[in-house]
């Protein structure tokens, strides 16, 4: 049985102070040029999550997971441990540095040099895993460490921690509802841990029962879309309910890369490949409508992918 808001007690954050006060309330940006050929009654918007502290959507769940673990006393005398593809780790390290909580992260060795440099600058302890095993390999290593050293590590497990999706139920969903003045008709979000999709989607569906929700994933297990999972072939997060979205859109890696370049050059939006995948999927949904308001999530900016080759036209 997958947890729902009614089966879990959620507490909205008190008024935050310090760096936590800057989490959320990110802008909603229209895609005007890429959507210019759509019918006049169709709008496509993207939530610009790189405006969060730590530069990605992961600031939301990282802060909620961290504050929940602190409140429960789980981090007393221990290091926070989790597996990551990069962005969640940067968020943990950001808040950990601010609060004096030591952070240990397992992540694939082929994470972008920019992400690795940021994590080291923030003081995180890094354990690099086999790049061929992707984030699943990092998850297995985190589980091994947690079992072998229970007195050293507090394994917060973002893939199975309800505080992940609850962060989006409490913040991302309400923000989108308010920013669209309740006009949103379609919500499109990539799935990695699935926290964004599940939490935001649950909130929107409670308030707008007719909203249509799409999950976005790579079109195969071997892909170049960092942060996203091909759910049929990956370790499926416990917080993900495959029956929840109304549909699943599979995105080819090269289509996402091409969209990243178009977003930069036609919209002035400098974003990463998971945002390119989200934009490609959102435009696919919008192209089938005569009227509607499609909202998607751009998880991070392009600055942490500058060394990647996909910025070139022939990538």
Mean pLDDT of 226-230: 92
Question: Is 58 part of the annotated catalytic residue set?
Answer: yes
User: Other C-beta atoms within 10 Å of 140: how many?
Assistant: 16
Q: What digits encode the pLDDT tens for the residues 19-43?
A: 989 999 999 999 999 999 999 999 9
Question: Is 274 part of the annotated catalytic residue set?
Answer: yes
Nearest alpha carbon to residue 269 among 45, 40, 99, 22: 45
* CATH fold for domain 59-155: Rossmann fold (3.40.50)
Going from N- to C-terminal start, the domains of the chain cover 18-51+168-311, 59-155
Nearest alpha carbon to residue 158 among 119, 193, 199: 193
Q: Out of 47, 58, 78, 229, pick the active-site residue.
A: 58
pLDDT confidence of residue 314? 59
CATH number of this structure's domain 18-51+168-311, picked from the four choices 3.40.50.720, 3.40.50.11890, 3.40.50.1100, 3.90.1170.50: 3.40.50.1100
pLDDT confidence of residue 148? 98
Place of tokens 């009614």: 6
Domains 18-51+168-311 and 59-155 share a fold: yes
Q: What digits encode the pLDDT tens for the residues 146-169?
A: 999 999 999 999 999 999 999 999
Q: pTM surpassing 0.85?
A: yes
Q: For a pLDDT cut of 90, what percent of the chain falls above it? A: 87
Q: Out of 56, 85, 274, 275, pick the active-site residue.
A: 274
Query: For the chain, how big is the Rg over CA atoms in Å?
Result: 18
Q: What digits encode the pLDDT tens for the residues 41-69?
A: 999 999 999 999 999 999 999 999 999 99
Nearest alpha carbon to residue 291 among 180, 220, 156, 186: 186
């Amino acid at each position: 049985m997958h947890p729902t808001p009614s089966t879990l007690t959620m507490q909205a954050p008190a008024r935050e102070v310090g760096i936590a006060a800057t989490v959320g309330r990110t802008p909603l940006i229209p895609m005007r040029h890429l959507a210019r050929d759509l019918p006049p009654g169709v709008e496509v918007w993207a939530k610009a999550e790189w405006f969060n502290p730590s530069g990605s959507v992961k600031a939301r769940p990282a802060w909620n997971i961290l504050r929940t673990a602190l409140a429960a006393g789980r981090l007393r005398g221990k290091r926070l441990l989790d597996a990551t593809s990069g962005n969640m780790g940067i968020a943990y390290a950001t808040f950990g540095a601010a609060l004096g909580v030591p952070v240990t992260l397992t992540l694939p060795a082929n994470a972008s040099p920019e992400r690795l440099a940021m994590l080291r600058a923030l003081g995180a302890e890094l354990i690099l895993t086999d790049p061929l095993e992707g984030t699943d390999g990092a998850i297995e290593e985190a589980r091994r460490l947690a079992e072998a050293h229970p007195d050293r590590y507090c394994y917060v497990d973002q893939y199975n921690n309800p505080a992940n999706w609850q962060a989006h139920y409490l913040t991302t969903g309400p923000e989108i509802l308010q920013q669209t003045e309740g006009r949103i008709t379609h919500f499109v979000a990539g799935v990695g841990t699935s926290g964004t999709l599940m939490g935001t989607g649950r909130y929107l569906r409670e308030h707008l029962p007719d909203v249509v929700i799409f999950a976005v994933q790579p079109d195969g297990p071997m892909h170049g879309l960092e942060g996203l999972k091909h759910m049929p072939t990956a370790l499926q997060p416990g917080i993900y309910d495959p029956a929840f979205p109304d549909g699943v859109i599979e995105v080819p890696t090269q289509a996402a890369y091409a969209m990243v370049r178009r977003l930069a050059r036609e919209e002035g939006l400098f974003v990463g490949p998971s945002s390119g995948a989200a934009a490609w999927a959102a435009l696919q949904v919008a192209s089938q409508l005569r009227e509607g308001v499609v909202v998607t999530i751009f998880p991070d900016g392009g600055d942490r992918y500058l060394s990647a080759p996909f910025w070139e036209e022939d990538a």
